[in-house]
């Protein structure tokens, strides 16, 4: 499996499991607890025999003692299809990797998003879950159908490496035909209202949605030198960021991030805010933690 520069990262998330946040719909046998009951050796309860049940599941000893036919029920486990959705709009390319020369930023939101996507793919794939990829790029959606074969991690890594963030992309359509679990990696600077509606519908339909909100350190703490801040996705938004407006900007950005987090959580979405310079393996461990530890802002 050729994973290129992600080898160390994948090694660091080896053994990490990504359990479902709630019992999944029954299906192919997998690692996640299903809402249905199966025939595994682990006993859960009895149920009276009904016509059509497999006679092999009868508890013959109980039948002999009580002369009543019961079926032994065991917890069912199923796979959980996972779709990694990555926002490849122009804003994800911030900051430009070449900006600043040797002293410039060595991390971008796009790089953090790629690493998170590959690491989560590896974690989900380790649980035998089929994993697919959708990259929302300017040219449209780049899709890789959910698969369980061994090369899926490398395929997803290669696909992500070929994409260059540019323009603006719509994420609201990625939920159409998506598997039960959707991991959305974005900076939330697109059309959030439509995305919220689509995510809520997916959650209501029994799926689970994880949102990784990628924030750049330079967005949190922009340079103190005056500059004419220009939105790469909308050049008409061009405003002077100076010492006088810097505090107001930071206050507005903090307030907006709080509102975004609250909106996602109100829609039943597991929301995680990550900063592009944080270690990805730790982020992934937090992200895949059971619901009790999820939703913690990094």
Question: Which parts of this chain interact with other proteins (CB under 8 A)?
Answer: 90-91, 94-96, 187, 189, 216, 218-219, 222-223, 225-233, 237-245, 248-249, 252-253, 256
Q: Which of helix, strand or coil describes residue 48?
A: strand
The C-alpha torsion from 216 through 220 and 221 to 227, rounded to 10°, is 80
Nearer to other proteins by Cβ, of 90 and 131: the residue is 90
Q: In the complex with other proteins, which residue's Cβ is closer, 223 or 293?
A: 223
Question: At its nearest, how many Å lie between other proteins and the CB of residue 222?
Answer: 7
Least Å distance, CB 283 to other proteins, is: 20
DSSP string, 83-136: EEEEE-SGGGGPSPTTTTGGGS-S--HHHHHHHHHHHHHHHHHHTT--EEEEEE
Cβ–Cβ < 8 Å for 83, 183: yes
In the complex, the smallest distance separating the C-beta of residue 94 from other proteins, rounded to whole angstroms, is: 5
Whole-number Å distance between alpha carbons of 290 and 270: 10
Angle value at C-alpha 165, between 115 and 218, nearest 5 degrees:
70
Q: How far is the CB of 204 from other proteins (least distance, A)?
A: 30
Say if residue 184 is exposed, middle or buried (CB neighbours under 10 Å; 0-12, 13-18, 19+): buried
Judged by beta carbon, residue 187 or residue 208, the one nearer other proteins is 187
Q: Which is nearer to other proteins, 49 or 253 (CB)?
A: 253
Distance in Å, CB of 110 to other proteins, minimum: 11
* 211, β-bridge pairs: 184, 271
Write down the least CB distance from residue 210 to other proteins, Å: 22
Q: Which is nearer to other proteins, 21 or 114 (CB)?
A: 114
* CB-side neighbour CA atoms (13 Å) of 175: 22
For residue 54, give Cα distances in angstroms to 5, 37, 78, 106: 51, 13, 20, 60
Pick between residue 54 and residue 244 the one whose CB is nearest to other proteins.
244
Taking the complex as a whole, the smallest distance from the CB of residue 98 to other proteins amounts, in Å, to: 12
Q: Which is nearer to other proteins, 248 or 282 (CB)?
A: 248
């Amino acid at each position: 499996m050729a994973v290129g520069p992600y080898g160390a990262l994948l090694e660091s998330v080896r053994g990490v499991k990504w359990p479902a946040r709630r019992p999944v719909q029954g299906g192919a046998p997998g690692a996640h607890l299903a809402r249905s009951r199966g025939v595994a050796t682990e006993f859960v309860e009895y149920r009276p025999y009904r016509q059509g049940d497999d006679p092999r599941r009868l508890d013959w000893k109980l039948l002999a003692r009580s002369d009543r036919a019961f079926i032994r029920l065991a917890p069912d486990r199923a796979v959980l299809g996972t779709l990694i959705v990555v926002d490849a709009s122009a804003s994800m390319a911030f900051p430009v990797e070449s900006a600043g020369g040797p002293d410039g930023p060595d991390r971008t939101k796009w790089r953090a998003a790629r690493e998170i996507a590959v690491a989560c793919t590896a974690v989900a794939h380790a649980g035998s879950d089929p994993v697919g990829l959708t990259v929302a790029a300017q040219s449209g959606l780049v899709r890789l159908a959910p698969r369980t074969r061994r090369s899926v991690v490398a395929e997803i890594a290669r696909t992500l490496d070929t994409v260059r963030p540019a323009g603006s992309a719509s994420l609201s359509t990625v939920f159409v035909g998506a598997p039960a679990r959707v991991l959305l990696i974005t900076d939330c600077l697109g059309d959030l209202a439509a995305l919220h509606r689509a995510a809520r519908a997916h959650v209501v339909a029994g799926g689970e949605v994880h949102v990784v909100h990628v924030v750049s350190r330079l967005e949190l703490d922009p340079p103190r030198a005056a500059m004419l801040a220009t939105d790469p996705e909308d050049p008409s938004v061009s405003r002077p960021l100076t010492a006088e407006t810097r505090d107001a900007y930071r206050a507005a950005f903090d307030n907006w991030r709080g509102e975004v987090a609250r909106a996602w959580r109100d829609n039943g979405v597991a929301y995680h805010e990550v900063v592009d310079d944080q270690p990805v393996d730790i982020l992934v461990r937090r992200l895949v933690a059971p619901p009790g530890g999820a939703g913690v802002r990094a």
